[in-house]
Amino acid sequence: MVIASVQNEKVKYLKKLMTEKSLVFFDNPKLLKEAYDAGHQILYVIKKEGYVGKTDYGGEVIEVTSNVFNIFTTTITSQGLIGVVKYIDKKLAKPQNNFLVLDGLQDPGNVGTLIRSALGANFKDIYLLNCAKVTNEKVIRASMGAFFKVNLYQTDLKEFVEIFKTWKLPLIVCDMHGENLYKTNFESTIGVAVGNEGNGVSKDMKNLATQIVKIPMQNNLESLNAGVSASIVMYEIANRN
């Protein structure tokens, strides 16, 4: 049965679910497949009338008309399939290799971009301290699928500082007053911390740092976007390993 009314009880229920922070609405068949392959539970699949692709991801398939479908999509050129996915937060754990710490980043585009860059540089453990939620649609889109291929840990600054002290791992902080990135030696396993777009890294994070580095720039430019600067540092480290 194709649901044609926005007043349908099932439609109202699904719309209410959009406010649940533990649920993600994937308006992209590719991302939905990656979520499924990564072991996330697919609760519902909202299918626009006429869609002919795969819909069997274990969740209830609900076929709706275009006007109902548009309630759940924010994209202009949707492909016609939305998955409602249960996202499970990972328990805070020690990194197994190079890692990234995001200290208070609020721009979901920056967070998603850094998740993507971190995967490319093989920084697969990412700690988000008081950042934009990883389930934010803009974070997921900006990560371009990397979202499902890294370990994301959401916590707050206080909890992270306490547990990080027990790990005894080296940590680099990006700051314009640090030493030249390209003249700095790094240990084989290391973390990179980048701070809030406006205020930089917190004092507590600086106190954890074993090294503070800056990216030398020309033409009197003082700083770079948080996503750009952390990406440069991660790739420099990856290039030397």
pTM, entire model: 0.85
pLDDT at 130: 94
Q: Are strands 125-129 and 151-155 parallel, antiparallel or unpaired?
A: parallel
pLDDT at 26: 85
Cα gap 120→161, rounded to integer Å? 26
Looking up tokens 């709706």 gives 64
Tens of pLDDT along the chain (241 residues)?
899 999 999 999 999 998 887 888 888 898 888 889 888 899 999 999 999 999 999 999 999 999 999 999 877 788 999 999 988 888 999 999 999 999 999 999 999 999 999 999 999 999 999 998 888 878 888 888 788 889 999 999 999 999 999 999 999 998 778 899 999 988 778 999 998 877 888 999 999 999 999 888 888 777 777 778 889 999 999 988 7
